[in-house]
Every structure is written in C-alpha cells, then in structure tokens.
C-alpha cells in the first residue's frame, strides 16, 4: 500500500513539474492570456480563478524554494572556505567537520 502511495506522490510531483515548465514557457512567451482563454473554454472541471490562484501560489513557493537553495549554497561555500583555512588540529579543537569527515 505504501509503495502505491509513493508512486502516486511521485507521479503527482512529475505532473506538477511538467505543468510548471509548460506554464513558465507560456508566461515567458507572453501567451498567458491566450492560454487563459483556452483554459476557461476547456471543460477541465477547474475554474479559471482556481487555476490562477494555484499558479500564483506555485510561483511563490518556487521562488521561496529557490531562495532557500541559494542561501544554503552560499552557506556551504562559506563553510568550506572557512574550514579550508583551518588546520585539522584547529578544526578538531573547535569540534568542526572538514568535508564529510568529523575531525573531532
């Protein structure tokens, strides 16, 4: 049962990723209005306001995720830079790790 749930969640994530890529392309090509006209005429069962809200929320979440990833990358570069300036003995005394190996 858990395997089926994981497969379903993975498939949903794939579909969201595909939709995000396609909608980003449409938006970048300044064709969102044409898409909205098509969408509202389509019998998808999803209202245009619901779609717009989902897309707005999705873009906000993507932006937040990308910002967090950038911050984590900056922090990792700073960590590596700082550790590279320490000797193994200095890192061990401070209880720090160098690379993936605990020097303490």
Task: Give pLDDT tens digits for 48-58.
Answer: 888 889 999 99
Q: Which two tokens stand for residue 13?
A: 């994530």
**Per-residue model confidence (pLDDT) at position 74:** 96
Q: What is the mean pLDDT of residues 38-48?
A: 76
| Residue closest to 58 by CA, chosen among 87, 4, 20, 8 | 20
Same domain, 14 and 59: no
Q: What is the mean pLDDT of residues 1-15?
A: 77
Same domain, 21 and 66: no
Same domain, 11 and 38: yes
Q: How many domains does the chain have?
A: 2
**Per-residue model confidence (pLDDT) at position 58:** 92
Whether 102 has a pLDDT exceeding 60, the answer reads no
Q: Which domain holds residue 1?
A: 1-45
Question: Cα separations (Å) of 36 from 27, 48, 61, 71?
Answer: 11, 7, 21, 35
Same domain, 60 and 37: no
How many other C-beta atoms can be found within 10 angstroms of the C-beta atom of residue 86? Answer: 15
pTM: 0.63
Distance CA 9, CA 35 (A): 27
Same domain, 66 and 104: yes
């Amino acid at each position: 049962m858990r395997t089926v749930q994981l497969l379903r969640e993975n498939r949903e994530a794939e579909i969201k990723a595909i939709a995000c890529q396609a909608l980003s392309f449409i938006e970048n090509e300044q064709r969102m209005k044409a898409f909205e006209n098509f969408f509202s005429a389509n019998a998808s069962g999803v209202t245009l306001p619901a779609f717009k809200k989902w897309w707005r929320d999705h873009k906000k979440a993507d932006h937040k995720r990308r910002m967090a990833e950038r911050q984590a990358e900056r922090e990792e570069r700073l960590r590596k830079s700082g550790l590279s300036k320490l000797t193994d003995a200095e890192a061990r005394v401070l209880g720090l790790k160098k690379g993936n190996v605990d020097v303490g």
